[in-house]
């Protein structure tokens, strides 16, 4: 599968020189509100349009204007609010579970779960346990089945990362947007002393395989509505094909 090239590196003078090849893997995308997580994730999903047969599911517990037009598109795998659990189950049953049980389809399948912390906090105990069980299974055993998860959270401090899900070593790619606190950076195992200030949404740092930390920015001005419209055309393709 192609590497994902939606991030560029970032230097102290504000310039960028190279795109950062990200191998497919489990990802966590963290950052405070407005730091650019959801738009970066949209750009990432759009990138999958250029990987043959890659499909994505978008699950956002928080209502998201950016994805709202896709709710009108027939058969688009986009789920928001009360539909979120159904979206996760759909991904889990049709890709991960089916493949565990012998289905021979190994086309790349991605789930983007935005605001996961909000989702587990708001669901009933039973549903929330169900969500954690599915996500943990995907994080632990998804790689060999070509099932990938991208998880968006404002802060990674909760049990999602270190607690009962305990799957933190499975996140081969960690992206932290904005100027994180020391604690926020520590949880994800970033070295904050080597951070460059993030001056705009979509700027932050990436940690590859827990070792290589690179200042980065989303390689597109997603504040521009024409660029964003192009990105969303590719997103549409990836959630409907
Ligand atoms: N790559 C980018 N380039 C330029 N502007 C951006 C970029 N990413 C985000 N923005 C701007 O920042 C705003 C917030 O982005 P986004 O919704 O992705 O943030 P978020 O981290 O998901 O916030 P929240 O936690 O509230 O969901 C966007 O509406 C857009 O104007
Ligand atoms: Mg968001």
84 token code pair: 């979120």
**How far, in Å, CA of 173 to CA of 209, rounded?**
6
Which whole number is the average pLDDT over 199-204?
98
pLDDT at 155: 82
Whether 166 shows a pLDDT value over 80: the answer reads no
- Taking the CA of residue 66 as reference, the ligand 1 atom at the shortest distance is 17
Q: Whose CA is closest to 61, among 159, 151, 161, 155?
A: 151
Q: Is the pLDDT higher at 122 or at 216?
A: 216
- Domains in the chain: boundaries: 7-240
Q: Provide the 3-class DSSP secondary structure of residue 227.
A: helix
Q: Is the pLDDT higher at 210 or at 46?
A: 46
Q: Does pTM top 0.75 for this prediction?
A: yes
pLDDT at 167: 73
**How far, in Å, CA of 43 to CA of 155, rounded?**
21
The rounded radius of gyration (Å) of the Cα atoms in the chain is 17
pLDDT at 124: 93
Instruction: Kindly state if the Cβ of 202 falls inside 6 Å of ligand 1.
Output: yes
Instruction: Kindly state if the Cβ of 221 falls inside 6 Å of ligand 1.
Output: yes
- Taking the CA of residue 35 as reference, the ligand 1 atom at the shortest distance is 21
H helices of the chain, in order, are 37-47, 84-91, 98-100, 116-122, 125-141, 182-187, 225-240
Taking only the tens place, the pLDDT of each residue in 49-68 is 999 999 999 999 999 999 99
Judge residue 102's burial from the number of C-beta atoms within 10 Å of its C-beta, 0-12 exposed, 13-18 middle, 19 or more buried. Answer: exposed
Question: Under CATH, what is the fold of the domain 7-240?
Answer: Rossmann fold (3.40.50)
Q: Whose CA is closest to 42, among 220, 226, 190, 240?
A: 220
Instruction: Kindly state if the Cβ of 15 falls inside 6 Å of ligand 1.
Output: no
**How far, in Å, CA of 37 to CA of 111, rounded?**
15
Whether 225 shows a pLDDT value over 70: the answer reads yes
Asked if 219 and 8 touch (Cβ cutoff 8 Å), the reply is: yes
pLDDT at 159: 61
Mean pLDDT taken over the chain: 93
> pLDDT exceeding 90 applies to what percent of the chain?
85
Asked if 149 and 138 touch (Cβ cutoff 8 Å), the reply is: yes
Structure letter (DSSP) for residue 237? H
Quick one: pLDDT band at residue 165, thresholds 50, 70, 90? low
């Amino acid at each position: 599968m192609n590497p994902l090239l939606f991030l560029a590196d970032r230097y102290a003078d504000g310039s960028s020189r190279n795109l950062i090849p990200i191998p497919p893997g489990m990802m966590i995308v963290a950052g405070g509100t407005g730091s650019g997580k959801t738009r970066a994730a949209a750009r990432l999903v759009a990138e999958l349009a250029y990987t043959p047969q890659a499909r994505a599911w978008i699950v956002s517990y928080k209502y998201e204007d950016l994805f709202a037009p896709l709710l009108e598109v027939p058969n688009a795998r986009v789920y928001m609010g009360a539909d979120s659990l159904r979206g996760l189950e759909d991904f889990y049953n049709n890709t991960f579970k089916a493949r565990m049980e012998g289905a021979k389809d190994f086309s790349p399948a991605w789930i983007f779960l935005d605001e996961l912390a909000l989702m587990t906090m708001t669901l009933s105990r039973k549903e929330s346990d169900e969500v954690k069980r599915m996500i943990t299974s995907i994080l632990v055993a998804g790689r060999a089945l070509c099932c990938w998860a991208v998880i968006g959270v404002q802060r990674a401090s909760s049990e999602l990362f270190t607690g009962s899900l305990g799957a933190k070593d499975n996140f081969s790619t960690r992206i932290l947007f904005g100027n994180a606190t020391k604690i926020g950076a520590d949880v994800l195992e970033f070295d904050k002393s080597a951070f460059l200030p993030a001056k705009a949404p979509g700027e932050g740092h990436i940690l590859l395989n827990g070792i290589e930390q690179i200042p980065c920015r989303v390689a597109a001005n997603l504040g521009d509505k024409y660029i964003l419209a192009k990105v969303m055309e590719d997103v549409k393709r990836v959630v409907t094909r």
